[in-house]
Structure formats: C-alpha cells, structure tokens
Amino acid sequence: MNLTVEQLTTTIEQKKIIEDISIHVYSGQFVGVIGPNGSGKSTLLKTIYRIFRPHGGLLSLDERDIFKLSYKEFSKSMAVVSQEGSVPFDFTVSEIVLMGRSPYKRLLERDTAEDVALVRSSLVKVGLEQFTDRGFSTLSGGEKQRVFIARALVQEAPFLILDEPTNHLDIHHQLHMLDIVRNLNVSVLAALHDLNLAAAYCDALYVVKDGKVVRYGSPEEVITKSMLKEVFQVDCTVTHHPKTGKPQILFISDGMF
Ligand SMILES: Nc1ncnc2c1ncn2[C@@H]1O[C@H](COP(=O)(O)OP(=O)(O)OP(=O)(O)O)[C@@H](O)[C@H]1O
C-alpha cells in the first residue's frame, strides 16, 4: 500500500507545528522519520492517522483520500503503535489484542476461532504467550509496548505507523520488534529516535526539523556528520557497520574525555 503526503500543514492553537511536508512511502518500504525532540514527528504521524485534521495538503493511501475513508476501511488499511498507548480499564492482555480485530466485526459480533488463533500467534511473535490472562496494568512498560505491537499485528493492515515503537524496550526486544516489522513485508512509516537502528532498518529516511523536512534519502545519504551537527547539534564520526555496511554513528562529547 502506498502513502502519499503532499504539502501537509498542521496547526495547533494557531501555531504551525508542521509545514508543507511531502512524503512518499512506496508499497513494502520501511521509511523512517527522524528529528530532534519537538521537531514535529508525532504531529506528522498523528495527522496521517487522523488524530489531527490538517490545515492544508493532501493525504492518500493508494490514491484514496485518507479523510474520506470510513472508520472501518481506514482501520483495515492502517495500524498504529504509538508511544502514548494507554488503556482506560484493566483489560487482560488477550482482550486488548483482540481489539485489533474490531474493524473486521459488526456490532456485538462474537470472536471467531480465527480471531483467537491470530491473537495467540501474535502474542507468541512478541514473546508474551504466557501473559494472555494477565491484567494490563500489572505489566512492565516494555511488556505493555509489546501488547500494542501484538494488537497492531492482528489488525493485519497493509500499512503500519510506528511512533517511537521501541521506547520502552530493551535492546533485545528493540531488535526483535524491528525484525518482526521488517518481515511483515507491509509498508511502514516509523518515527525513530535511535539513529543507528533507523539506519539499519529503514529503506529511506526523512529528517524533520522545526516542522519541515530538511533532508531525505537513503540512510547512506542522510546519516552524515554534517547532518548530525546541523540538525541534532552533536559531534560524531560516521562509520559503517562491519557486517551490514550500513552507516553507524559514534557520538563524541566533551564529557566523554
Ligand atoms: N496539542 C498540542 N498543543 C500545543 N502544542 C503542541 C501540541 N502537540 C504538539 N505540540 C507542540 O508541537 C511541537 C512538535 O511536537 P511533536 O510531539 O510533534 O514533536 P516530536 O518530534 O514527536 O517530539 P519528541 O521527539 O519529543 O517526541 C512541540 O513543540 C510540541 O510542544
């Protein structure tokens, strides 16, 4: 599934938070959005997944205007794992994951054996099969994050939005989660803070600063010493991973010496 974002502007309380952003995610691509804190990454993603209404521009999935899709059509097309996932009541893990099947159901329709099997296989994928009946509130931050990933998986959407999906995860689970997503062969747009992971997993990167796209290209084109200085205000050496050949950043700061 293709995503096209053309000249998108989102204003909150009279302030332009993102301005004139154009992005393309081709079918099956894993595209990253990187940028400093407060640069507008989440606002961009939230506008794409319809939390915010844009004040200008066009958003389309396979040529269809995102804002013209019904709730069910939209939810079957796009799954979201956000950094702010919360659950109002103490549902169990399997109840929360089952919610990912709701776009496929009519009101009060019962869960099918297929739904239950999908929930089970997603929980196995994220390593939470022992947690099926646990109350969500009893889980650690990383376990909660993996529940939301499982919920997105059962949604079986061809487009996945990830807003800092590895926030609470230890390094093993960060790599495991990105491996799972990569192997789904769906289109992905992900805001990532870890630039080495962004370089390792993404086919293309957009760099956002002050609400605007300031760089775009392959990780090799984008992850450079000058970009890191200009956009993130850090000094570094950029080398290459000895096995994958992807850019690898070694940060340098006065306090290290
Ligand atoms: N509802 C809101 N009301 C007012 N300002 C907002 C609102 N939502 C976002 N902003 C502001 O918009 C700017 C961009 O925020 P956003 O969350 O999109 O950035 P981000 O790049 O995702 O940041 P981070 O890396 O810290 O998560 C910030 O200055 C933020 O304070």
Q: According to the model, what pLDDT value does residue 141 have?
A: 85
Q: Is the pLDDT of residue 85 over 80?
A: no
pLDDT tens-digit readout, 227-255: 999 999 999 999 999 999 999 999 999 89
In the chain, which ranges are continuous DSSP H helix? 41-48, 71-77, 93-98, 113-125, 141-154, 171-183, 195-201, 219-222, 225-232
Residue 187, pLDDT score: 97
102: pLDDT strictly greater than 80: yes
Section 205-228 average pLDDT? 98
Judged against a pLDDT cut of 80, whether residue 10 lies above it is answered with: yes
Q: Which two tokens stand for residue 209?
A: 């600063």
CB distance 35 to ligand 1 below 6 Å = yes
Q: What is the mean pLDDT of the chain?
A: 93
Ligand 1, atom 5: nearest CA belongs to which residue? 12
* ipTM for the assembly: 0.96
* Residue 90, pLDDT score: 84
Residue 104 pLDDT class (50, 70, 90 cuts): confident
Distance 163 CA to ligand 1 centre (A): 13
Please give the single-letter amino acid code of residue 124. V
Q: Would you say 182 and 201 are in contact if contact means Cβ atoms under 8 Å apart? A: yes
Give the rounded percent of residues in the chain with a pLDDT score beyond 90: 83
Please give the average per-residue pLDDT across 182-190, as a whole number.
Answer: 93
Report the CATH number of the 3-223 domain: 3.40.50.300
pLDDT tens by residue, 105-153: 877 778 888 899 999 999 999 999 999 999 999 998 889 889 999 999 9
114 CA from centroid of ligand 1 (Å): 39
Residue 40 Cβ inside 6 Å of ligand 1? The answer reads yes
Counting atoms of ligand 1 from 1, which one is nearest the CA of 40? 18
When pLDDT is cut at 50, 70 and 90, the band that residue 185 belongs to is confident
pLDDT score for 109: 76
CA–CA separation, 130 and 38 (whole Å): 37
Dihedral of the CA atoms 161, 49, 223, 251 (nearest 10)?
A: -80
Closest C-alpha among 223, 220, 179 to residue 201 = 179
Residue found by looking up tokens 């389309």 in the block:
60
Q: Distance between CA 245 and CA 218 in Å, rounded?
A: 13
Least confidently predicted of 6-20, 169-183, 240-254: 169-183
pLDDT tens profile 59-75 = 999 999 999 999 999 99
Determine contact, residues 199/219, Cβ cutoff 8 Å: yes
Q: Is the CB of 145 under 6 A from ligand 1?
A: no
* Average pLDDT rounded to a whole number, residues 213-224: 98
Report pLDDT for 27.
96
Considering the entire predicted model, what is its pTM?
0.94
DSSP-derived 3-state class of residue 60: strand
